[in-house]
Structure 1
C-alpha cells in the first residue's frame, strides 16, 4: 500500500460522552442542574443525536430530514443540523445550544484511541502517506495538533471544505490525489460501512473498525500495520 486514509470520529478519535459534554457547557456558562435533571437531559440529548460524533439520532425529525442528509457539505449546514436536534431538548438558556455545538469542536472534547498514535507514527516512519477523510462541518486539524499527531498526517480532506460528503468517491479521489497515490494502492480505514465503504468505488481496499468507547477498543487499529506491506 502506498497510502492509508483514515476516518476521524469513531476511527482515530472518540468524542466525549454526552453527559461530559453537557456538564462542561453548563459549567462554562455558570449554570447548574440538579443531578437527576442533568442525567435526564443528557440522555435526551443522546437520544436526539445532538452530539456530533456521538450516537446517531433515534429518529430524524421530519423538518430536519433534508438538512440532515446534506449536513456535512458545509459548516453552516452542519451547525444547523446539530443545533436543530439539540433544540428538541429543553435547556435553561437558549444560548446553550450554540455553546454545546462550539464545545464539540474543541480538542478537549476528543480523545485518541489508545493505538492511534502508535499506528500513525509507525506509518510515518515507514514512509507511508497518511490522509484523514472526514464527513465534518469544522476544522479538525487543531485536535490533531493538540494531541501531537498532526505531524503524522500528510493530507486532510474534510467534506465541508469540498462541498462533497462520503460515500461520494470524489472525496476519496481528492485524498488520493493529495497523497500522489494510485487508489488501487490505498487502504481506507473507517467505522461507517456505508460512508467509508465509498472508497471501494475507486478501487481502494477498505478496512473497518467498530465505533466504541476508547476503553473498549484498545488495539483495533493495529491490524492496519499488517495490511500495509
Structure 2
C-alpha cells in the first residue's frame, strides 16, 4: 500500500491560510483566512508549489516568494516592506517541521497493516524537507520506502514514480492501493499507473469526485485479517 504525504498522513497546523492570515494580523493588517485560502488555491494551481528545492536556503527563498504571491493575490493593503516581512515570517512557520502533526487515524491503520505484514510506502511531490517532517512526527521508521519528486526527478501524476514505488515495496501494480488527497496528482497518477486509487477527502471538498473515496483512513475496507 502506498500513501501521499501532506494532507494524507500529516498536515501543517494551523494550515497555510491561517498562518498567513494570523501573521498579517500580527502586523496590524488583518485579512480573512477564507480570502487567503482562495488566493492559495489560485497561486498553487497556476504557479505550482515550491516542493523541489535542494537546500534550506532555497526552500526559504521559494516559500517566501510563494507566500508573497499569495498575499498579493489576496490583495492585502500594506506597504511593500510589511508584505515582505509577513511573507518571510509565514515561510519560516511553514518550514518548521515541529509545526506538522500526524492525523489521528494514521497510527491505527499503520498498526493494522503491520500486523497483516503489508509493506507500505510514501510517494510525494516534496523535497528533502519531507524527511525532516517524517523524523519529527515519528513516521520515518514506519514506511518501507519513501519516494519524492525531488530525489527521483519524477513528479506525480507521472505514472513512473508510482511504478518505482510499487517495485520498491515488492508488489504488483494492479494489486497496489494508493491513498492521497489530490484528485489530479494522486488519483490521476495512480489510475494512470494502474494502481487502485482511493481519494481521502477529510474536509468534503471533492463532492463531485465519482471514484472511490473515504473521509478517514479508518473507513478503508480492506481484507487484511484473512
Task: Using structure 2 for the length normalisation, give the TM-score.
Answer: 0.73
Written as runs of structure 1 = structure 2, the 5 A alignment for 1:57-206 is 57=42, 65=46, 68-69=47-48, 72=51, 74=53, 79=62, 82-83=66-67, 85-88=69-72, 89=76, 90=78, 92=82, 94-197=84-187, 198-206=189-197
Deviations 1:175-220 (A, max 9, x none): 112222221221000111221121222321111110429xxxx971
Query: Residues 142, 176 of structure 1: CA spacing in aligned structure 2 closer, same or farther, 3 A cutoff?
Result: same
The aligned residue for residue 13 of structure 1 is: 10
Runs of 4+ in 1 over 4 A off after TM superposition: 23-26, 41-44, 69-78
Q: Is the 8 A contact 1:73 1:165 kept in 2?
A: no
Q: SS of the counterpart of 1:165?
A: coil
Query: Residues 222, 70 of structure 1: CA spacing in aligned structure 2 closer, same or farther, 3 A cutoff?
Result: closer
Higher RCO (Cα < 8 Å, 6 or more apart): 1
Q: 1:47 offset after TM fit, Å?
A: 2.7
The aligned residue for residue 38 of structure 2 is: 47
Deviations 1:61-99 (A, max 9, x none): xxxx4xx25855555699266245235144726244233
Which region of structure 1 is more displaced relative to structure 2, 178-187 or 99-108? 99-108
Separation in 1 of the partners of 2:15 and 2:106?
19
The aligned residue for residue 209 of structure 1 is: 200
Separation in 2 of the partners of 1:99 and 1:79?
13
Separation in 2 of the partners of 1:74 and 1:173?
23
| Stretches of structure 1 lacking an aligned partner (at least 5 in a row) | 50-55
Aligned length: 203
| Stretches of structure 2 lacking an aligned partner (at least 5 in a row) | 205-213
What is the RMSD computed on CA atoms of the aligned residues? Answer: 3.3
Q: Is the 8 A contact 2:120 2:144 kept in 1?
A: yes
